[in-house]
């Protein structure tokens, strides 16, 4: 009779023609609602009765085309291939799992439907490696976050990417907040967070001299760190490739062939392949992949966030992550955002949190910028004139608002890694470890699995000139003059660094892919000066025409036609 | 470690940037007898003039209508004949201030250079404001470019950035590009300016828009960008006098390219790294009448000081900076600076300081805050007196004005500039 109670409740929320089915595996709700807000409210309510919520409530608002951003060419290049493991999704989770699996004597492939890895949520976040305090105690989020936080430092070293423990400061907005310290400390302790401190007003002032005066000390979490989320994802993918993993870009899974409760073949736009195990790390499309496998026992809902990035010359005014949350609202679903130093030396402000109906909507609007002003005012030196860019990302969330990391109960050789919202980036290395444990359990029944003897724990990288001093730069230029030719003046990127990226183990020949890897165009002039030069290099390296070079793959050409061709039309 | 990996060079004056300002500064420094080095990060001298193939350059300086490359070439030839060492493709990584000199850490394809100079002339030019700096929203397709980048695509690379083009902002480069792209066969849907008046020069409105029947929409701007891969259209909206969007006035316009001409920002990252004070009005360094910044030994000129309308005045400021820098390294006289401010009738003016022991002939450059269509006088206010420097029939923020005057300066007596509207006869 529980379902009847739930149904009544949903009806009172405004869900019409409501139905509720509660099984061991999930709770499935359906009906018609007038708004997305009602639909989501119903979903969150249902999550009180089962972790896995399938929300089939229809809203008036028509769902937009759910297809991905790019049209995939149909081919049969991959037809007939066979892999032990196919990972669906080249986000930070898929790439971290791939890298972890590359330690074993098995064949692994990552299928990514876009033109590059880290195109969606993995490149559209604030880069924070959270301390683990914010997650609700007892959740998977809390567990994986703290473990992941510890793993990132050595992992970043092996990957040759920067990681910095900047620490995170939760500012008190009233003197009364100070009495919350034992409660905050207790939560940090419950979550196994690596350290916490009570900072006085004076201590805050000393550590962060440019923060607003109207603060009353704060709660400090030294373990919080920052990385470049897209560089990290690319590095994980490259390292996996260097250790034998195949990354197939522009490859979209369109179906599965099942036999006896197992996936036997995976259908893609580039052919049908055999797989012993499939890992669903499809991010904002993870529920669709589950559905393709006839295993949809969870729904995703989508929460968009906008971040603002400030000019690098603001970086010196902020040392730690800082936020001033309203403690009355801390139980709510958003973390509330704050000021975050970026690994490149900017200040990032954000994110916002807005539920949206679409899986992908990266448009920005002025209301979100306005909302972020509450954080901007925390630092006296910041103002909107210093903004160099802003962007949106979309978090894929389950209605229980926790990660879903488990073997499918229905399909013997399928693992779901879904609902990896914040702190997903921080948790990724820990999630990857556990997914690999699950994978080995499944595979070991079919195959004897050994560790590779020749697994290289360190990613092969090209020189990072940012780390070099003047003399070292002089020496590297003597060896290769291309390192002395600066293409991007704002971020000091040399021509050879761009060419290096195009000869890496995962080269992608678009402007945005190069920007994510090496940063030309990511500075204050936003590519105003370097874009033609980067296009020239891309054209040279690929043997293509200037007008064939795109911003982000299919149909996003930078220029349309040569003047000559246009004149002769 | 090989001691010879870094080349060490000593000079009296280092000029950063070889656009029109840097070329003029290097020439005048050299002509005044100094040892000077020119450093340029691009592969050729000439700065942005290289891509400005339209004419209209040099009217003031040569009484001729030159194209950008022609104008630049005259200076480049002089620089070459004067044997000024010019380092192209050379990037300044960092500048360090020593007690009596500056050390520039530079790199190029040939190696690394440590250049020590007694004085620095910053001629670093400006960059364009981007779509993000005007808070353009919507989606993020390809096909959105600043006017200067579009100009590079067309004039240097030889490619059309789009065929159905919307231009946002009525800055001069945008107007020039409206004409240029029309000549190349593209269709300019219109120029949309958020302000009630165009921000470019009157002559460009006439020659680039009116002559080609390109519509200019005032008090109207682009609100939203549409398109996933390549831009497909924009929503434009009218704004009221306060710049607020008028609800219901939104209109969808199909286009395959959006070009922005929404202002220029002086590039002063090196100046700021050397603690040179920046004027919030010009976004360039505060300078005295000798183009000397508030840091002894650092001079600035051209568009890095403030954004000029005409290249002729850019060159002029370079010439002043060059000769002043030589004078300064020769005597290192302590300056006696008095503040030269303006009231709120003036948008900005140069110089913001006057060295009262130096030459008293002051070249004043200014822009009015608003359009004065009645006769008005530009006044210099000293302690208790008000002198009319010049009368104008019309003053517009979009047109920079110049007045040369002899200042009767006294110590500790600040100056102020003011525009006063005269309702009487001129």
Interface test with B, best of A525, A534, A549 (most B CBs within 10 A): A525
Provide the shortest C-alpha distance from residue B130 to chain A (in Å).
Answer: 7
Give ipTM to 2 decimals: 0.95
Give Cβ neighbours of residue A213 (< 8 Å, ≥ 6 apart): none
- pLDDT attached to residue B274: 97
> Which class for A150: exposed (0-12), middle (13-18), buried (19 or more C-beta within 10 A)?
middle
User: Which residues does chain A have within 8 Å of residue B243's beta carbon, measured at their own beta carbons?
Assistant: none
B352, pLDDT greater than 80: yes
- pLDDT attached to residue B407: 78
Say yes or no: B5 contacts chain A, CB-CB below 8 A: yes
B196, pLDDT greater than 80: yes
Provide the shortest C-alpha distance from residue A406 to chain B (in Å).
Answer: 34
Say yes or no: A552 contacts chain B, CB-CB below 8 A: yes
| A positions 488-507 inside 8 Å of B (CB) | 489, 492
pLDDT, tens digit, 9 for 90 and up, residues B355-387: 987 777 899 999 999 999 889 999 999 887 889
- pLDDT attached to residue B419: 95
pLDDT, tens digit, 9 for 90 and up, residues B280-314: 999 999 999 999 999 999 999 999 999 999 999 99
Find the CB nearest A556 among B131, B159, B230. Answer: B230
| B positions 392-421 inside 8 Å of A (CB) | none
Name the residue of chain A whose CA is nearest to B159's CA.
A562
Note the residue count of chain A. Answer: 569
- pLDDT attached to residue A61: 58
Verify whether the Cβ–Cβ distance B146 to A528 is below 8 Å.
yes
CA distance A552 to A266: 26
Residue A130 a catalytic site member: yes
Tell me whether strands B126-128 and B187-193 are parallel, antiparallel or unpaired.
unpaired
User: Which residues does chain A have within 8 Å of residue B128's beta carbon, measured at their own beta carbons?
Assistant: 525, 528
- pLDDT attached to residue B1: 42
Sole residue written with tokens 């600066």: A486
* Torsion sign across C-alpha atoms B386, B389, B394, B399: negative
pLDDT in tens, chain A (569 residues): 789 999 999 999 999 999 999 999 999 999 999 999 999 999 999 999 999 999 999 987 555 445 544 566 889 999 999 999 999 999 999 999 999 999 999 999 999 999 999 999 999 999 999 999 999 999 999 999 999 999 999 999 999 999 999 999 999 999 988 899 999 999 999 999 999 999 999 999 999 999 999 999 999 999 999 999 999 999 999 999 999 999 999 999 999 999 999 999 999 999 999 999 999 999 999 999 999 999 999 999 999 999 999 999 999 999 999 999 887 665 555 557 899 999 999 999 999 999 999 999 999 999 999 999 999 999 999 999 999 999 999 999 999 999 999 999 999 999 999 999 999 999 999 999 999 999 999 999 888 999 999 999 999 999 999 999 999 999 999 999 999 999 999 999 999 999 999 999 999 999 999 999 999 999 999 999 999 999 999 999 999 999 999 999 989 999 999 999 998 88
CA distance B70 to A233: 49
User: Which residues does chain B have within 8 Å of residue A465's beta carbon, measured at their own beta carbons?
Assistant: none
CA distance B195 to B221: 9
Q: Yes or no: say if B234 and B145 are a contact pair by the CB < 8 Å rule.
A: no
Query: Phi, psi at residue B119, to the nearest 5°?
Result: -135, 150
Provide the shortest C-alpha distance from residue B357 to chain A (in Å).
Answer: 36
User: What residues pair up with B220 in beta bridges, in sequence order?
Assistant: B238
Find the CB nearest B272 among A313, A551, A557. Answer: A313
Say yes or no: B194 contacts chain A, CB-CB below 8 A: no
The 3-class SS string of A177-199 reads HHHHHHHHHHHHHHCCCCCCEEE
User: Which residues does chain A have within 8 Å of residue B132's beta carbon, measured at their own beta carbons?
Assistant: 387-390, 526
Find the CB nearest A387 among B1, B91, B133. Answer: B133
Q: H or E element: which one contains A172?
A: none
Q: What three-state secondary structure class fits A515? A: helix
The mean pLDDT of chain B is 94
* Segment B8-34 mean pLDDT: 98
Interface test with A, best of B3, B7, B42, B159 (most A CBs within 10 A): B159
CA distance B45 to B17: 9
Tell me the Ramachandran region of residue A476: left when phi exceeds 0, alpha when psi lies from -120 to 50, beta otherwise: alpha
Name the residue of chain A whose CA is nearest to B129's CA.
A525
Q: What three-state secondary structure class fits A18? A: strand
CA distance A320 to A289: 39
- pLDDT attached to residue B2: 47
Say yes or no: A546 contacts chain B, CB-CB below 8 A: yes
Say yes or no: B138 contacts chain A, CB-CB below 8 A: yes
CA distance A462 to B16: 31
CA distance B336 to B334: 7
| B positions 244-273 inside 8 Å of A (CB) | 256-257, 269, 272
Alpha carbon B245 to its chain's center = 30
User: Which residues does chain A have within 8 Å of residue B133's beta carbon, measured at their own beta carbons?
Assistant: 385, 387-388
Catalytic residue among A70, A130, A375, A416: A130
Find the CB nearest A559 among B114, B130, B160. Answer: B160
Interface test with B, best of A310, A526, A532, A554 (most B CBs within 10 A): A526
Sole residue written with tokens 């849907």: B189
Higher pLDDT, B164 or A334: B164
User: Which residues does chain A have within 8 Å of residue B156's beta carbon, measured at their own beta carbons?
Assistant: 532
Count contacts between A and B (CB, < 8 Å). Answer: 156
What are chain B's domains?
Answer: 1-127+265-335 (3.50.50.60), 130-262 (3.50.50.60), 336-426 (no CATH)
Say yes or no: A383 contacts chain B, CB-CB below 8 A: no
Neighbours of B423 (CB within 10 A): 7
Verify whether the Cβ–Cβ distance A363 to B137 is below 8 Å.
yes
User: Which residues does chain A have within 8 Å of residue B230's beta carbon, measured at their own beta carbons?
Assistant: 555-557
Verify whether the Cβ–Cβ distance B110 to A471 is below 8 Å.
no
How many CA atoms are closer than 13 Å to the CA of B220, on its beta-carbon side?
19
Find the CB nearest A390 among B1, B132, B163. Answer: B132
- pLDDT attached to residue B4: 66
Give Cβ neighbours of residue B405 (< 8 Å, ≥ 6 apart): B361, B362, B364, B380, B389
Say yes or no: B44 contacts chain A, CB-CB below 8 A: no
The 3-class SS string of chain B reads CCHHHEEEEEEEEEEECCCHHHHHHHHHHHHCCCCEEEECCCCCCCHHHHHCCCEEECCCCCCCCEEHHHHHHHHHHHHHHCCCCEECCCEEEEEEECCCCEEEEEEECCEEEEEEEEEEEECCCEEECCCCCCCCEECCCECEEEHHHHHHHHHHHCEECCCEEEEECCCHHHHHHHHHHHHCCCEEEEEEECCCCCCCCHHHHHHHHHHHCCCEEECEEEEEEECCCECCEEEEEEECCCCCECCCCCEEEECCEEEECCCEEECCHHHHHCCCCECCCCCCECECCCCEECCCCEEECHHHCCCCCCHHHHHHHHHHHHHHHHHHHHHCCCCCEEEEEECCCEEEEECCEEECCCCCEEEEEEEECCCECCCEEEEEECCCCEEEEEEECCECCCCCEEEEEECCCCCCCCEEEEEEECCCCC
Neighbours of A433 (CB within 10 A): 16
| B positions 62-121 inside 8 Å of A (CB) | 89, 91, 93-94, 105, 107-112, 114
- pLDDT attached to residue A64: 47
- pLDDT attached to residue B271: 97
User: Which residues does chain B have within 8 Å of residue A369's beta carbon, measured at their own beta carbons?
Assistant: 135
B107, pLDDT greater than 80: yes
Higher pLDDT, A60 or B345: B345
Q: Which of B56, B230, B220 has the alpha carbon at shortest distance from B142?
A: B230
Interface test with A, best of B1, B4, B5, B267 (most A CBs within 10 A): B5
Find the CB nearest A559 among B89, B111, B161. Answer: B161
Verify whether the Cβ–Cβ distance A389 to B139 is below 8 Å.
no
Provide the shortest C-alpha distance from residue A138 to chain B (in Å).
Answer: 39
| B positions 354-393 inside 8 Å of A (CB) | none
User: What residues pair up with A57 in beta bridges, in sequence order?
Assistant: A31
B113, pLDDT greater than 90: yes
- pLDDT attached to residue B357: 76
Say yes or no: A528 contacts chain B, CB-CB below 8 A: yes
């Amino acid at each position: 009779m529980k379902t009847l109670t739930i149904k009544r409740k949903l009806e009172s929320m405004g869900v019409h023609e409501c139905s509720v089915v509660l099984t061991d595996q999930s709770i499935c709700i359906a009906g018609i609602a007038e708004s997305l807000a009602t639909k989501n409210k119903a979903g969150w309510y249902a999550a009180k009765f089962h972790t896995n919520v399938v929300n089939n409530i229809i809203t008036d608002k028509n769902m937009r085309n759910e297809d991905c951003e790019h049209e995939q060419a149909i081919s049969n290049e991959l037809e007939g291939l066979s892999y032990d493991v196919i990972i669906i999704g080249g986000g930070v989770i898929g790439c971290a799992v791939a890298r972890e699996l590359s330690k074993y004597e098995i064949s692994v492939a990552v299928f990514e439907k876009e033109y590059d890895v880290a195109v969606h949520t993995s490149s559209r976040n604030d880069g924070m490696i959270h301390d683990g305090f914010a997650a609700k105690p007892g959740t998977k989020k809390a567990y994986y976050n703290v473990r992941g936080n510890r793993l990132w430092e050595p992992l970043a070293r092996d990957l040759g990417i920067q990681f910095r423990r900047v620490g995170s400061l939760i500012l008190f907005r009233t003197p009364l907040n100070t009495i919350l310290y034992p409660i905050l400390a207790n939560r940090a302790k419950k979550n196994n967070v690596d350290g916490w401190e009570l900072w006085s007003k004076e201590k805050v002032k000393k550590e962060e001299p440019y923060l607003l005066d109207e603060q009353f000390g704060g709660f400090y979490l030294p373990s919080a760190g920052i990385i470049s989320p897209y560089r990290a994802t690319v590095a994980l993918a490259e390292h996996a490739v260097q250790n034998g993993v195949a990354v197939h870009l522009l490859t979209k899974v369109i179906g599965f062939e099942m036999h006896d409760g197992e996936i036997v073949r995976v259908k893609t736009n580039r052919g049908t392949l055999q797989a012993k195990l499939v890992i669903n790390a499809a991010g904002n499309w993870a529920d669709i992949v589950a559905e393709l496998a006839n295993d949809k026992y969870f729904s995703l809902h989508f929460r968009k966030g906008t971040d603002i990035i400030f000019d690098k010359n603001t970086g010196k005014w902020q040392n730690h992550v800082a936020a001033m949350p309203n403690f009355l609202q801390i139980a709510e679903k958003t973390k509330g955002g704050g000021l975050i130093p970026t690994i490149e030396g900017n200040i990032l402000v954000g994110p916002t949190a807005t539920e949206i109906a679409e899986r992908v909507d990266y448009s920005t609007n002025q209301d979100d910028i306005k909302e972020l002003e509450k954080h901007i005012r925390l630092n006296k030196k910041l103002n909107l004139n210093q903004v160099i860019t802003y962007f949106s990302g979309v978090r894929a969330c389950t209605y229980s608002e926790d990660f879903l990391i488990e073997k499918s109960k229905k399909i013997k050789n399928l693992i779901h890694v879904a609902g990896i919202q914040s702190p997903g980036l921080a948790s990724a290395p820990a999630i990857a470890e556990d997914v690999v444990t699950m994978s080995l359990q499944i595979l070991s029944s079919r195959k004897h699995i050994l560790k590779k003897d020749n697994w290289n724990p360190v990613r092969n990288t090209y020189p990072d000139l940012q780390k070099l001093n003047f003399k070292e730069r002089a020496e590297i230029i003597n060896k290769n003059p291309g390192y002395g030719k600066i293409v991007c003046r704002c971020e000091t990127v040399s021509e050879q660094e761009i060419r290096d990226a195009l000869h890496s183990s995962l080269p992608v020949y678009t402007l945005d892919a190069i920007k994510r890897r090496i940063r030309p165009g990511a500075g204050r002039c936003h590519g105003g000066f370097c874009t033609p030069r980067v296009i020239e290099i891309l054209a040279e390296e690929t043997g293509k025409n200037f007008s064939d070079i795109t911003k982000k793959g299919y149909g996003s050409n930078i220029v349309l036609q040569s003047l000559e061709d246009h004149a002769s039309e | 470690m090989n001691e010879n990996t870094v080349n060490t060079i000593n000079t009296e004056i280092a000029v950063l940037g070889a656009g029109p300002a840097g070329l003029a500064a290097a020439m005048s420094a050299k002509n005044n007898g100094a040892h000077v080095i020119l450093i340029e990060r691009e592969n050729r001298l000439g700065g942005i003039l290289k891509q400005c193939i339209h004419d209209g350059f040099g009217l003031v300086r040569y009484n001729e209508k030159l194209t950008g490359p022609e104008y630049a070439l005259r200076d480049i030839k002089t620089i070459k004949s004067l044997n000024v060492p010019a380092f192209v493709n050379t990037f300044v990584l960092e500048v360090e201030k020593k007690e009596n000199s500056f050390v520039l850490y530079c790199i190029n394809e040939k190696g690394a250079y440590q250049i020590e100079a007694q004085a620095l002339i910053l001629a670093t030019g400006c960059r364009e404001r981007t779509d993000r700096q005007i808070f353009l929203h919507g989606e993020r397709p390809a096909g959105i470019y600043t006017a200067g980048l579009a100009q590079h695509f067309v004039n240097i690379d030889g490619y059309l950035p789009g065929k159905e083009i919307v231009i946002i902002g009525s800055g001069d480069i945008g107007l020039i590009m409206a004409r240029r792209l029309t000549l190349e066969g593209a269709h300019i849907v219109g120029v949309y300016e958020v302000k009630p008046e165009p921000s470019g020069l009157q002559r460009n409105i006439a020659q680039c828009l009116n002559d080609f029947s390109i519509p200019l929409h005032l008090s109207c701007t682009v609100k939203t960008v549409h398109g996933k891969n390549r831009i497909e259209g924009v929503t434009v909206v009218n704004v009221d006098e306060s710049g607020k969007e008028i609800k219901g006035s939104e209109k969808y316009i199909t286009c395959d390219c959006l070009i922005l001409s929404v202002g220029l920002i002086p590039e002063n990252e090196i100046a700021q790294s050397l603690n040179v004070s920046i004027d919030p009005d010009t976004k360039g360094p505060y300078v005295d009448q000798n183009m000397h910044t508030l840091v002894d030994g650092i001079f600035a000129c051209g568009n890095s000081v403030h954004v000029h309308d005409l290249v002729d005045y850019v060159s002029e400021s370079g010439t002043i900076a060059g000769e002043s820098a030589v004078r300064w390294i020769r005597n290192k006289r302590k300056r006696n600076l008095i503040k030269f401010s303006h009231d709120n009738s003036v948008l900005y003016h140069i110089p913001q300081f006057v060295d009262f022991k130096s030459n008293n002939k002051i070249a004043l450059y200014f822009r009015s805050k608003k359009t004065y269509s009645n006769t008005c006088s530009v006044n210099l206010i000293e302690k208790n007196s008000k002198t009319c420097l010049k009368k104008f029939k019309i003053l517009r923020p979009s047109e920079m004005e110049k007045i040369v005057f002899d200042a009767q300066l006294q110590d500790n007596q600040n100056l102020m500039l003011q525009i006063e509207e005269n309702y009487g006869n001129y």
